[in-house]
Amino acid sequence: MFPKQYEALQVMSHAVVGFPNLDENEKAIAGLVKSGVKLIELQVPFSDPVADGHTLVNACHDALKHGGSVRATLALAEKVCAKHPEATFILMSYLNPLYRYGLQALFEKAASVGIEGLIIPDWPVEEIEPWLPTFDELGLSPILMVTPNTPLERIERIAKASRGMIYVVSRMGVTGHQTQWGEDFQSYLDRIRQYTDLPLAVGFGVRSADDLNALAGKTEVAAFCSKYIEWQRNDGSDVAAEKMEAMIGEVSA
């Protein structure tokens, strides 16, 4: 289930499938759910992840050495969706691994194992639109991205094609760097809200409890991903989950 418009802030976090390895993914996801994370992206690792910063690029390359793949992602999704019905699982992937699997077959399989949403950063709205009837039939929500330089008429088009929520890229650049949450950011959110009643998930640069508190009341979802993967790499999945729980505890309701 995706949140409703103006509901209190929820945290979305991340698993790169195969990082640090496939067994650890299951444990890490259980830890995230227990720590209060409501939405989890399962990222299919890719050899050439152009929208990601170094944390996720390196995690992708490590994951590929440890069995990460589209098939491994679907297998993991089948397990975790069944085990954690309270959480919402979103398939995040660059287009090519999915294309190679076969898009129609992939979407059917993903929906059947319990995936609720899709984030595909290199698949622009023009290419997604013809698939909307398929997504609606399967109950899969394409979550499209809006960026600070997206022109208004394009925001409108993206909003129309999006389901579940809209992914708001907080600033220019790739994942894994700090963002400022000032007046410009608020007017950016207002610009998007003109065109949609969907909840907004803000990502890129959400790296601390301060960031979450800054976003609380402004947006429905905060994507806390690269920093979590850094915790996972440096401290292991158990400590990463503890840090997540402590951080979510610091967010004022």
Residues near another protein (CB under 8 A) are: 46-54, 57-58, 61, 64, 69-71, 94-101, 121-124, 127, 144-147, 149-151, 154, 158, 169, 172-174
197 assigned to active site: no
Q: How far is the CB of 151 from another protein (least distance, A)?
A: 7
CA 76 to chain centre: 16
Reduced to 3 states (helix: H, G, I; strand: E, B; else coil), residue 40 is strand
Nearest distance from residue 31's CB to another protein, in Å? 27
52 catalytic per annotation? yes
Residues β-bridged to residue 25: none
Report in angstroms how near the CB of residue 226 gets to another protein at its nearest. Answer: 13
20 cis-preceded (ω within 30 degrees of 0): yes
Nearer to another protein (CB atom), residue 126 or residue 183: 126
Catalytic hit among 23, 48, 52, 78: 52
With vertex at residue 3, the alpha carbon angle to CA 173 and CA 52, rounded to the nearest 5 degrees, is 20
Map residue 179 onto helix, strand or coil: coil
Nearer to another protein, 74 or 115 (CB): 74
Residue whose C-alpha is closest to residue 165's, from 245, 219, 85, 115: 219
DSSP 80-99: HHHH-TTSEEEEE--HHHHH
Q: Which is nearer to another protein, 98 or 225 (CB)?
A: 98
Least distance (Å) between residue 126 CB and another protein: 8
From 7, 26, 41, 153, the catalytic residue: 41
Neighbours of 133 (CB within 10 A): 9
* Residues annotated as part of the active site: 41, 52
